[in-house]
Structure 1
């Protein structure tokens, strides 16, 4: 019995810790809230006692990170040698989950009365009345947090200085993680730079940095973090020019700046946009790191595209792209002066401290070999890939379909007929994508090279303006020359692992044969979630199946001309009704 009680104590302790971690994650808008929530549900439904952390590893939704945190908490308890927490947990477990005995089976009138036990709130009130007032003193950890100063060259130092510089020099108070990493790498000796652990410490423990609660969180300095960052910047030799311009105590610029910013700035204030003047940037073709050339025999070559394009004089860069295989960016030039050797060295050092600004242009290409296209269609990934490209924020998404010679256009691929593949390509063009068909790797390279040269000529005398998100971009047109930054493109286009109700509904609908992206978008405007669709069905009589089947028949969809003059139709309406009922 003693062993069972001890196991129950450990189980209730783990439940308590998981609840605390889940609530903390919810307050900070972290996705870990769902991870801890799943672990809590599993542990509550687990009927057997938990005697150690090893028992948790056998349970579903308990990964190595959660088990490691639980093990650390148990280690802290063992090191302190204090069993009071265990005893408190035992009392609470008896109060809220008493074990059944034989007397519980008896009728209510025959059962012996149990002594009443005070709830934790009542016992706390009784204890407060009978005990003398206690003077609260700050612990050593609280004092250390207040007087803590990061070491120069370490990651916390780099984060604070980078956030301050982004705020003052770029007028960018709220920074996404990728922009923050680019700037912080200039002030740290740690390689590779890992921001996550340092950011969590600065947010939760030090309270020097905070972040927004949306999915793509942005980070910013708190009042105490701002004061500490100013002190660190004044002590950093690399930031002498920055301090002279923005932290001049004589003119009191920094105080006036923050006072005016605090009066006008709100949490949703967008970051300050910038302009790339004509002639101050290069057009660069970015190639995805996973893009490679492979023939029908299966031999693969990772360097085929970079080598072939460089031989044609195209400026390229290999990066990990969240979407597409090729994308063109406008990258700010590094301007150096060659008046004297000393001047050049100084300017090079200053340019190393400067973060290059980059804008993603209006063209992104997804390259599909014809056999890859067939496998995507068979694996039901084709519609989802098109949907992600359409919603990337880039105005001209393109599909480059590569055949194995002209004869292969009339052949079957991946157990799909040539007619089926042609129909899929035509439907893709109807959905708003530009299609380019090539017959070989060499023809693909020539097309990419010609496209790069055309863009260089087109943007030769154009000035470009940045914007920070897809919503701003959606309110502009191509003639405005407004583009997203590269880091915003990566943040917004990365694959989502935890979906909202609307996003999951879209994924469901795309699996229904016959529903194109435009039809799904129209349906989502009318019924944004599955629940709203269920409510519409529930308003109809259950006996009248014909009304339920034809509920969506007259829903207007976009036609080829762009006008909403086409109906969803009775066939698709019946399919959706069958799918969700």
Structure 2
């Protein structure tokens, strides 16, 4: 389980411990692994924080034995961290704080003194560099060490490297007394965190302190003009974002089922520019891009008419095809670079980047010798989602299967290769052969993806190489939709509309635009949050959530009808969009209990 999965869970400590027990059971082939796997899945999907371990017994797969182990583990964890035991209380209800938050205010004998790095020290400069990264690329971007250092150097009197060192990346030239030592201090104070030992990101606590430091530097006129402009743009985006996130009200205008999620336009909303730096670009160049980054509208632009001259065009012969591999896509933990190395040995141009949708995609990059070398990378209309059979079965059980398909459709890709690698009879038998076959059929018939069933990893590599060669040989002029027309929602409709306007062209988008339309951590509309709340209840699919949401467009409307006489019966009689089927009395009863009862039985 990744750190990202733990951080997204409402109960990261419990998830971490159960995952450890699951891995131990799996390693020893103990039968308890199946129970622990079920407990792990249900805890991952549970959206509310739980303070009392005994309350976890209401989740599927967690019995009294696991709950008791969690209670002992939590007591030990509190003792190690000097946290007093809180008064016993149940937290299976909305609005309660997390385990950490429930004890933080009462357990410590006195408030800790706020840490601020010494002026122009290494930690001071690193905090500024991390905050600049946060402003430029968003809260979830982990910046490589060498790029971070270049953002920090103007703000410290201590060098980051010893004279004569080959690079900033470490090695013999580094001394423990360089400015980089400040990173250990920031991590110890929980102001920064690292990923894989080589990339770094600021924490929420770090952002709060960095804002104060930036204000002091600005008042003393010690910020560069570039940094002043960046801070102004960041502040402006925050203000726009606050204005856009109004309370749940009549803002929900309409629901459509094009992507399996609610789509709506809210007047005045805009999404902040989001720039992902290419690995080939220097940090200084990446930093300067902020001043010229395009704005992306959150409103749907379907139906917008433009001239062909407004499209970004790469003429045939002016670009190279590069295969981009998601940085989490590895063949084995023992050799993480195997995929990249094998493809490069076959003559395929490869680059590693974080991908928000898909495991592999292809970009057109202008040749360094062409007159278009200043143009951005263009994401072609081809993407690959690769899964091993056991991973496919797991994704069907925990809901990732459905969510990933929705995001692929929302990203506008029309040439999707769904690669299911190998076979796993045990995983198939546990889920059910009929369920697996049904899922594979839906991939082809319902979603329109190209299903590929290579039996080995080597066969998958041959497929990727073949697609790369075909694209390099067959594509002519490439056209990309302008960034200013692209928003987080409505892109699929926009692309279809423009494709009808230019039927003789194959339309693509820039990599920055791809990141905006496919980023699942981007700001959600009120309507999308409402539908996701509905879908947290087992049995409520995207189609059913849309049917309920289109009839009762706010939470209050739904609760009002459920609390009325025969409310559950009214919900049960609703038709599911586009079908003759109804929500049904059983699911309506669960919805009634979920939204109106004081407690909810998850079993």
**Structure 1-normalised TM-score?**
0.49
- When Rg is computed on C-alpha atoms for both structures, the one with the higher figure is 1
Higher helix share: 1
Q: Which has the higher contact order (CA 8 A, sep 6+)?
A: 2
